[in-house]
Amino acid sequence: MRVTLRGMPAAQEPRHATTTPRDLLMAVAIFAVAFALRLVFLFRSADAAWPHSALYEGDAPVWARWAKALGKGEPFEFNLPMRPPGMAWLLHWLGADAAPFTGMKVLWCAISAATVALLWLVMARWFTRGAAWVAAALLAVSFGSFELATSLNNEAPYALLVTAIVGATLAWCDRPTWRWAVVLGLLNGAALLLRAEHALPVALLLAYGAWRSRGAVGWWCAAWQAALALAVTAACCVPWTLRSNEAAHRFNTVTEQQIPYRTMQPRWTPEAQAYLETLPAFVR
């Protein structure tokens, strides 16, 4: 036992070396309780079949319409990058493009409950069990999390991804390996496809992880691992970025129909026609 300068026993190290089977059983129990609470909340409301809820609409109707357009192979909002595509594609892959949306909301309740359980595991592994219980209990009964669990918006899956990203970042700090760098890149890429503003947490977490890892593998290796994670993150977004760039270019250069200058009254002067042709296609 370590002894402080005043002769008093030092505080015990709060971190645990590994996640034990008992921890996993506790996480399963936490998931079950949180899931049951969210199911009660869902089925006690009159809007269970809606894509959104009376308490929180968000962009849920938009995601549902986008998923329906994907199922039909039709463009949505001219394929312009108005919103990240992850949520619409997720609903499309899960077949949630038409009412009733009750089954999909049950899945969202499970995602929210899994976030509570994963938060407990992360806090117990890298902080203290007391802090883990407090954090998990607060999130399990948080009214805001109930609202997010019963509306098909991107906050619920994003919260699960962020919790996983924090845990993966701490695991990378403990064991800075190339495998963890790739895992971090994939998780951050998925989060960026759900919420574009995740770009700032990516930069901060990778910088923090590289700084924490420098003692184990050296600055150069830590920096290269962070660069690999960033490259994987960017690679996840490349297909959507290229498609969005193509759509924006088409929107600015291709007109749906030519302007009938000859039949317009009053007649347009050549100078006016030339000026109009210099404007982006979507304005003409």
Please say if the pLDDT value at position 35 is more than 90: yes
**CA–CA distance, 70 with 90 (Å, rounded to integer):** 11
Q: What is the pTM of this model?
A: 0.85
Identify whether the C-beta of residue 227 lies closer than 8 Å to the C-beta of residue 209.
Answer: no
Count how many Cα atoms sit within 13 Å of the Cα of residue 114 in the half-sphere of its side chain.
Answer: 14
Q: What is the mean pLDDT of residues 233-245?
A: 93
Higher-scoring residue by pLDDT: 246, 29: 29
Could you give the CA distance from residue 49 to residue 100 in angstroms, rounded to a whole number?
Answer: 5
> Contact at 8 Å (CB) between 187 and 168?
yes
The rounded percent of the chain whose pLDDT value lies above 90 is 66
Please choose, from the candidates 86, 51, 84, 53, the residue with its C-alpha nearest in 3D space to the C-alpha of residue 65.
51
Paired with 168 in beta bridges are none
Position 6 scores a pLDDT of: 47
Kindly give the interhelix angle for 219-253 and 199-217, rounded to the nearest 10 degrees: 160
Asked if pLDDT for residue 257 goes beyond 80, the answer is no
Q: How far apart are alpha carbons 118 and 86 in whole angstroms?
A: 22
Retrieve residue 204's tokens: 């901060």
Residue 274: phi and psi, rounded to 5, are -65, -40
The pLDDT tens digits of the residues spanning 89-118 come to 999 999 887 779 999 999 999 999 999 999
Q: Dihedrals φ, ψ of 3, to 5°?
A: -125, 135
